Structure 1
Amino acid sequence: MFKPLELAIGLRYTRAKRRTHFISFISLASMLGIALGVVALITTISVMNGFEKELRARILGMVSHATIAGAGEALRDWPKAVAIAERDPRVLGAAPYVERESLLSGYNNIGALLRGVDPALEPKVSEIGEVMQAGSLDDLKPGAFGIVLGIELAQYLGADVGDAVTVLVPESRSTPMGIVPQMKRFTVVGVFKAGMQEYDLQLAVIHLADAQKLLRMGEGVSGVRLKLDDMDTAWQVARDLADKMGEFYRVRDWSRDHANFFRAIKMEKSVMFVILSLIVAVAAFNLVSSLIMLVTDKQSDIAILRTLGMTPRSVMGVFVVQGSIIGVVGIVLGLIGGVLLTTNLHLVVAGLERLLGFEVMPSDIYYITGVPTDMRGDDILTIAIVAFVLCMVATIYPAWRASRTDPATALRYE
């Protein structure tokens, strides 16, 4: 089978035994270094993706993908907003809500976000009903003034199902005693655990009608929460729906509410990618030294090829081929090792925990137990391309040096 001359000689040099075993050792070290770097990159990036996915799922399980609120203090025509939203095929669910900062009083006092919801519609936009630890969201009845607390909030207040807590909101009312703040005693009917302190310690849920009465909003609500089929299009969908309603509305989406958090995760992922890429870069430097020593070892062979008519460009191609083969083999080994390690990382972590006698992420300290992973094809492709480019760059100088070999000088003492 016909092969280009550069490829044929490069493959032969790769398979041939070295006169100096040290050169073979450096080539092997370069190959293993590249493989190790690729394994570390794939595993680390997949773990960071896993944590990001887990945190995003927990956050979006308690908040909506997008919200549409009125320009004033309350949205009066919210049934119209819900009807328009549900006609959009991109919207999976829509539900009204009322939100206001409040002070809860039980065994202790603590500030919390008070959210009024419709128990019949809330499952369409959040997963709070699926994370109940006691009671049920359906236990919220209009006029009964029941309340559902986050598990840490309930513990701080010293309240359990059936206990009473006092809710004070920043609304005032006139009485014979003067102006006093609006407050009401609620009965705890449920406790939820979202796995995020932001909600477990700072969120209390009541019935929509009770919230409207407590805050004197009449039939108005704070806005409409939306759940979409593609959360990455939340801003555009919310804007489109607001335009259809024909009035001025305030629109927010989940990415804006948690922009700094997810931006920090993205930045950390990028920095880790750059840092771990240095492992591949170090292996590429080993590849440079390996090829330079090989060029020195093959001086007479290069000179003979030049006298037979091989051009400097072809000589350069021979060593580019050899360096590329070493790099490609290292990358392939790294890809295989990285995929296998990431796929079985939970087993590796469990084995280390048994061996060392401690938990990597104890459930009593961390909200996320275990080490989640999310291996993505585009990340693997990017890692492979970056590693290959570094290997190709590493071959340029040794190959160029080989192409500058003077046949007369190299064969003078042969």
Structure 2
Amino acid sequence: MISLLNRHHGAKPFGAYERMLALRYMRARKHRFLPSAIAGLSVTGITVGVMALIVVMAVMNGMRVELMSKIIGGNGHFFLQPIDTPMTDYKEVAAQLEKIPGVKRAIPMVESPAGISSPTQQTGALVRGVSGDDLKRLPGMAGNVRQGTLENFDSAVGIAIGQRMADNLGVRVGDTVSILTAKGAQTPFGVTPRMKAYPVKAIFQFGLSDFDQLFVYLPLEEAQAFFNKPGEVSVIQGFVDDPAHMDEVRMKIEQTIERPNILTDWRQRNKGFFDVLKVESDAIFLILSIIVAVASLLIVQGLVLLVKDKTREIAILRTMGASRGAVLRIFILTGVAIGLVGVTLGVAIGVPLALHLDDVRQFLNRAFSLNLFPAQYYFGLSQLPTVVEKKEVVGVALLTLGLSFVATIYPAWRAARLDPVEALRNE
């Protein structure tokens, strides 16, 4: 030790002896491989804070991705609606859209609100007229038909409804329901309502309760006749390869489609919902960051107590030639080391826990007869979705290390300002 101190003036800052002393101050006196009680509490607090941040942010990311895939999977990525003139050229427009790089499919639809009723119940619906081939191409429909079939959908002149709507109406495949629209036949006395009965040919389940109790699919030609839109559609619903890069595709669509139209995308139609989700995510991140900040305050308290406990050792170091800067760096290293250990443990526990959180949920449900995360209250999601993003994990780690560094400044400054003569006199 003396030889190291004798040579410390030629050594670089944060050199070997400074690191050695910093690690010694972290350890318990009687157990060299165990941390002191103060350091242990600080490490535990930081570990829990980092772990909680990673897990909760992974759940929020998973919810956002899962809900986005369900919402825009059943409702389209962009919507092209005609203005000035009816869209009777929808086949040509759809073919042009599908040739645009980045556009996967374009599906012409007749879309109109209507009433739907069974012998016992009635409710509102959004009726969509679509060809049988296009209906099978809907991402939300593929693999989600729970009863019946979509085969011969055009010729069968039946309808497909959501599982939630079927339950509300009390109908199954083969039962008959009636669709009512206020915009029916034109007579000398004005427009009269129109009602027609249709058999239920298929029941689907998107997994999003709002969609499962709202959408009704009708063959395109039948919808055109029912809603007085012969040879035309009201909207073309499109899907792209990457909804996150919608601006690039929108620019290409605007350059390609020359007919007058209104172009909207999933961000505009669902702006309120995803804005609320982002606000919730940011608020939870801020709240959980407070846990990390509180753990950092433990570092402040711990180092202050450590300085008081090591007053004699600090005075001896100063009398042996250690500079104030060296003492400052020793205690900064101690605090940062505590933060680094806490971050490492938090990431090591938090990331695997986030990746297998649904397995943990299922285990707790079985072991304690619980019902954590019931699907009926969470948009029909049968699993707890989690998505761990590397940049967020890195951000949490850097934030925690930064707070740990800031927390060490005051105690380290107090240690560096210690007068060795006064310290030894008071011992």
* TM-score computed with the length of structure 1 as normaliser: 0.92
For residues 95-133 of structure 1, what are the alpha-carbon distances to aligned partners after superposition, in whole Å with 9 as ceiling and x for unaligned?
Answer: 111110001121222110000112212344433142111
For residues 139-160 of structure 1, what are the alpha-carbon distances to aligned partners after superposition, in whole Å with 9 as ceiling and x for unaligned?
Answer: 3215x43111111212222322
Q: 360-369 or 43-52, which moves further after superposition?
A: 360-369
Match of 1:6 in 2: 14
Match of 2:398 in 1: 385
Question: For residues 242 and 136 of structure 1, what CA distance do their matches in structure 2 show?
Answer: 37
Question: For residues 366 and 175 of structure 2, what CA distance do their matches in structure 1 show?
Answer: 42
For residues 380-409 of structure 1, what are the alpha-carbon distances to aligned partners after superposition, in whole Å with 9 as ceiling and x for unaligned?
Answer: 111111111111111111111112112332
Match of 2:171 in 1: 159
The letter of the residue matching 2:103 is V
Question: For residues 364 and 302 of structure 1, what CA distance do their matches in structure 2 show?
Answer: 62
Asked whether 1:122 is paired with 2:135, we answer: yes
The letter of the residue matching 2:237 is R
CA contact (8 A) 2:80 2:264 kept: yes
Match of 1:317 in 2: 329
Q: 378-387 or 362-371, which moves further after superposition?
A: 362-371
Asked whether 1:131 is paired with 2:144, we answer: yes
Question: For residues 73 and 312 of structure 1, what CA distance do their matches in structure 2 show?
Answer: 82
The letter of the residue matching 2:371 is E
Instruction: Return closer, same or farther for 1:238/1:220 CA change in 2, 3 Å cut-off.
Output: farther
Match of 2:7 in 1: none
Question: For residues 97 and 246 of structure 1, what CA distance do their matches in structure 2 show?
Answer: 20
Instruction: Return closer, same or farther for 1:180/1:216 CA change in 2, 3 Å cut-off.
Output: same
For residues 271-307 of structure 1, what are the alpha-carbon distances to aligned partners after superposition, in whole Å with 9 as ceiling and x for unaligned?
Answer: 1111111111111111111111112222233334434
Match of 1:369 in 2: 382
Instruction: Return closer, same or farther for 1:262/1:364 CA change in 2, 3 Å cut-off.
Output: closer
Structure 1 residue corresponding to 2:59, chosen from 21, 24, 47 = 47
CA contact (8 A) 2:76 2:238 kept: yes
Asked whether 1:140 is paired with 2:141, we answer: no
Structure 2 residue corresponding to 1:195, chosen from 195, 207, 213 = 207
In the TM superposition, what is the alpha-carbon distance from 1:176 to its structure 2 partner? 7.6
CA contact (8 A) 2:157 2:218 kept: yes
CA contact (8 A) 1:113 1:202 kept: yes
The letter of the residue matching 1:229 is D
Instruction: Return closer, same or farther for 1:31/1:395 CA change in 2, 3 Å cut-off.
Output: same
In the TM superposition, what is the alpha-carbon distance from 1:182 to its structure 2 partner? 2.4
CA contact (8 A) 2:296 2:403 kept: yes
Question: For residues 390 and 73 of structure 1, what CA distance do their matches in structure 2 show?
Answer: 61
Question: For residues 135 and 207 of structure 1, what CA distance do their matches in structure 2 show?
Answer: 16
Instruction: Return closer, same or farther for 1:99/1:178 CA change in 2, 3 Å cut-off.
Output: closer
Match of 2:281 in 1: 269
Q: 227-236 or 1-10, which moves further after superposition?
A: 1-10
Match of 1:182 in 2: 194
In the TM superposition, what is the alpha-carbon distance from 1:365 to its structure 2 partner? 5.7
Equivalences, count: 413
Percent identity between the two aligned chains? 33
SS in 2 for 1:121: helix
Question: For residues 186 and 302 of structure 2, what CA distance do their matches in structure 1 show?
Answer: 86
CA contact (8 A) 1:287 1:394 kept: yes
Gapped regions of structure 2 (runs ≥ 5): 5-9
Structure 2 residue corresponding to 1:237, chosen from 225, 249, 254 = 249
Which consecutive aligned stretches of 4+ in structure 1 deviate over 6 angstroms post-superposition?
none
In the TM superposition, what is the alpha-carbon distance from 1:56 to its structure 2 partner? 1.7
The letter of the residue matching 1:331 is V
SS in 2 for 1:130: coil
Question: For residues 211 and 426 of structure 2, what CA distance do their matches in structure 1 show?
Answer: 80
CA contact (8 A) 1:31 1:327 kept: yes
Q: 119-128 or 23-32, which moves further after superposition?
A: 119-128
SS in 1 for 2:133: coil
Asked whether 1:260 is paired with 2:272, we answer: yes
Question: For residues 76 and 11 of structure 1, what CA distance do their matches in structure 2 show?
Answer: 80
Instruction: Return closer, same or farther for 1:345/1:308 CA change in 2, 3 Å cut-off.
Output: same
Question: For residues 190 and 409 of structure 2, what CA distance do their matches in structure 1 show?
Answer: 85
Cα RMSD (Å): 2.5
In the TM superposition, what is the alpha-carbon distance from 1:34 to its structure 2 partner? 0.5
Question: For residues 250 and 82 of structure 2, what CA distance do their matches in structure 1 show?
Answer: 13
In the TM superposition, what is the alpha-carbon distance from 1:50 to its structure 2 partner? 1.8
Q: 345-354 or 11-20, which moves further after superposition?
A: 11-20
Question: For residues 188 and 89 of structure 2, what CA distance do their matches in structure 1 show?
Answer: 35
Question: For residues 248 and 406 of structure 1, what CA distance do their matches in structure 2 show?
Answer: 82
For residues 338-397 of structure 1, what are the alpha-carbon distances to aligned partners after superposition, in whole Å with 9 as ceiling and x for unaligned?
Answer: 012223323322222222212213456651234222111112111111111111111111
Mapping of 1:71-82 within 5 angstroms?
71-72=83-84, 74-82=86-94
SS in 1 for 2:193: strand
In the TM superposition, what is the alpha-carbon distance from 1:243 to its structure 2 partner? 2.8
The letter of the residue matching 2:276 is A
SS in 1 for 2:110: strand
CA contact (8 A) 1:60 1:126 kept: no
In the TM superposition, what is the alpha-carbon distance from 1:235 to its structure 2 partner? 4.2
In the TM superposition, what is the alpha-carbon distance from 1:172 to its structure 2 partner? 3.3
